[in-house]
Chain A
């Protein structure tokens, strides 16, 4: 689920009638000092990071004056929480808190409806008090059960005069969650100050990924749950996905802090959520650390699988490439095999790759992978293909063996190879790509081979292969053309090349 920063979600609260402390974000210590000066008096300086327990780890500190605020901000801006490097702090006026409540709106999957979780003692350590947390059902049309809410407040130590204000704030919070399609909206604490105001002292909000399209105004870069701000590769991958909706493509980098003592970092390429999970389990059990999670499934095009592989292999330090997801996919697996084959050739893969492509067309998929593995021009490390009858546990063992034999050679990302004929040869455009055919090296037999393997997209003219269909027809045929490129190369006739540039990764893109 896409997360908002505390200051971003507080802005939404304020906009819809829930009071928040006065303040704002700062991305430098000097800016924090200026903010503190403007606010006057004591301030809180809070790391803007998607982690719990910031207070216990020094991510929330207090300052009496601008000079202290500057020092605290400087300290916090150097912090890292797991995968999350802090780049912003929230500076806000200190509250004089009299009572604290824990208020959270989420989806109760047992009730299949929203629920308000309410605890009369807010603040940290709430997980440990799960027993005392009250659950108030939320009706789709009527909102939170007002009577139940009053009943709970009636048992609290909060001044009875303030119950109306607290109830209104909670009702507003429920409404904001609905309005912005929040999967979670958590206020901990909802503070009652000594002077009798009800203020959201903290706020965490995650938006339903599926509904982000309805809220273009929200500052969400990637509609996915990440435990860190999007990395450069994740942004690149997300652009690839947005540009091509054929099949799913999900790429996220994982924390690799525990890599010491591990058997090494691996690039992981799954297909299908459940199948990917079991494959990740299998490889993690052998002591490897996943550098990333990646899923291409639901009939992805060969170009999409190719781009996924390139993005995975843009990560430094990998000891191998492990591809395994569903063993019985209903997609044609040879498209994926061709996409991988092209990627492995372009970067001359030099770490072992073990790929399980079970399901439709698996025999052909495995033949392609083994073809690449045998081709010394394509790769300089073993590439092995497996089918549905080979279990993830089995291929994980095989992978470990190949990595051991490679004796710790780690991957350094390198730019892709582009054949010399690109830029001057016969070419035509397809979606987000260009197809190049090296007519200079098309002897009659090669032309015959190319035309025969083009699935009717190319024809022979003056003894050379040229486009047989309209540019509109060929535009979405990248899977067929990637297949053609790989088949030509494996047949020793490398005259076809698809330039499938990846924005942000290939500065050498030729268009």
Chain B
């Protein structure tokens, strides 16, 4: 198809933890969006079917053998989630979307280190809303719309997204975000302005995670259908500033960014080492300034993300 990165309408998807309340709820949501959900995994429940009549398997390996799925979304509870991610990688899954919030950092450090043995496996998250390559709207409006040819893996509301095919501007952006809820805001604004999305990826807010800004920027740069990128960062860490340096060197497409956290909720920085690790770059203002210096268009407020990328794409103001 080539209308997106990582996943598209042909991607077959599993749900690990399909019999849990969250796994079941969002499996249904993905099915309703038109995702090709192929089955689920719950140890001890192999051979059964879920409420959508999808087959349940005991292991990811069984599920891959039985369904040829290449992607998975992980809703497994925190103490077991890191093992579930590695199980998926070992079974040959190439896109592992870890939705679970609260996986111990040490577990993720070990998982991340073990994932080096599976270079084909790309992890998204954990603690993220997931990934979506929007499908074309075929019927209905707003929250009741029906879509085709898309792939939603995760918990985001599907209907706010707009496929390039349906976009009045004829343009589409890639979206990369550390924030769950701000991603939805940004997508909604873009859709509202007639700017479609090729793929939106919530990379998650945890310190040890899968795909980061730079890997995804690279994919969007190479993707023919993607006309620009929206980046949403937060205070904490140096990912955004490093992404800025990468953009300056390698990116030909326009990039718009917003950094959340002028008023940081408690718990984003701590101790002496916080100041040393993050340095003076670890504020929203400093990050925005650094990105601006790398040629990125900066949205001063989250309400201006859509307008900022529209301008960067050369669209007339609305």
Pick the contact of B113: A140, A280, A282, A330 (CB < 8 A): A140
The stretch of A15-23, A103-111, A311-319, A401-409 that contacts the partner chain: A103-111
Q: Does A107 lie within 8 Å of B208, measured CB to CB?
A: yes
* Identity of the chain A residue whose Cβ is nearest the Cβ of B264 in the assembled complex: A277
* Identity of the chain A residue whose Cβ is nearest the Cβ of B239 in the assembled complex: A109
Q: Does B301 sit at the interface, judged by CB under 8 A? A: yes
With both chains docked as a complex, state the minimum distance between the C-beta of B226 and any C-beta of chain A, in angstroms.
Answer: 22
Given the known interface contacts A127-B272, A280-B265, A328-B185, the answer about A211 and B109 at a Cβ–Cβ threshold of 8 Å is: no
The stretch of B61-69, B88-96, B175-183, B286-294 that contacts the partner chain: B175-183
Given the known interface contacts A181-B106, A208-B104, A213-B79, the answer about A278 and B260 at a Cβ–Cβ threshold of 8 Å is: yes
Q: Does B205 lie within 8 Å of A273, measured CB to CB?
A: yes
Q: Does B51 sit at the interface, judged by CB under 8 A? A: no
With both chains docked as a complex, state the minimum distance between the C-beta of B80 and any C-beta of chain A, in angstroms.
Answer: 13
With both chains docked as a complex, state the minimum distance between the C-beta of B272 and any C-beta of chain A, in angstroms.
Answer: 5
How many chain-B residues does the 8 Å CB contact rule pick out? 61
Q: Does A6 sit at the interface, judged by CB under 8 A? A: no
In the bound complex, CA of A333 to CA of B185 (Å): 16
The stretch of A38-46, A154-162, A223-231 that contacts the partner chain: A223-231
With both chains docked as a complex, state the minimum distance between the C-beta of B293 and any C-beta of chain A, in angstroms.
Answer: 19
Q: Does A360 lie within 8 Å of B157, measured CB to CB?
A: yes
In the bound complex, CA of A117 to CA of B182 (Å): 33
Q: Does B232 sit at the interface, judged by CB under 8 A? A: yes
Pick the contact of A210: B104, B272, B274 (CB < 8 A): B104
CB neighbours of A106 from chain B (8 A): 273, 277
Q: Which residues of B contact A (CB under 8 A)?
A: 29, 78-79, 101-107, 109-110, 112-113, 143, 155-157, 160, 177-185, 187-188, 205, 207-209, 232, 234, 236-239, 242, 260-267, 270-277, 279, 301-303
CB neighbours of B155 from chain A (8 A): 330
With both chains docked as a complex, state the minimum distance between the C-beta of B206 and any C-beta of chain A, in angstroms.
Answer: 8
Pick the contact of A208: B29, B106, B261 (CB < 8 A): B106
How many chain-A residues does the 8 Å CB contact rule pick out? 71
Which secondary structure dominates where chain A touches chain B?
mixed
Q: Does A327 lie within 8 Å of B184, measured CB to CB?
A: yes
In the bound complex, CA of A112 to CA of B160 (Å): 33
CB neighbours of A388 from chain B (8 A): 185, 188
Q: Does A130 lie within 8 Å of B279, measured CB to CB?
A: yes
The stretch of A70-78, A182-190, A258-266, A368-376 that contacts the partner chain: A182-190
Pick the contact of B266: A225, A278, A325 (CB < 8 A): A225
Pick the contact of A109: B143, B237, B261, B276 (CB < 8 A): B237
CB neighbours of B109 from chain A (8 A): 107, 112-114, 140
CB neighbours of A184 from chain B (8 A): 270-271, 273-274
Q: Does A226 lie within 8 Å of B266, measured CB to CB?
A: yes
Given the known interface contacts A52-B272, A133-B276, A360-B143, the answer about A109 and B238 at a Cβ–Cβ threshold of 8 Å is: yes
In the bound complex, CA of A328 to CA of B155 (Å): 12
18 contacts between A and B (CB under 8 A): A52-B272, A102-B272, A107-B208, A109-B277, A112-B112, A130-B275, A181-B105, A184-B270, A184-B273, A206-B270, A210-B102, A211-B106, A252-B266, A252-B267, A278-B302, A281-B263, A360-B143, A393-B303
Residues of chain A from 186 to 214 with CB closer than 8 A to chain B in the complex: 186, 188, 204, 206, 208-211, 213-214
Q: Does A211 lie within 8 Å of B105, measured CB to CB?
A: yes
With both chains docked as a complex, state the minimum distance between the C-beta of A24 and any C-beta of chain B, in angstroms.
Answer: 24
Pick the contact of B276: A117, A178, A277, A330 (CB < 8 A): A117
Q: 1/0 per residue A381-410: CB within 8 Å of B?
A: 000000010011100000000000000000
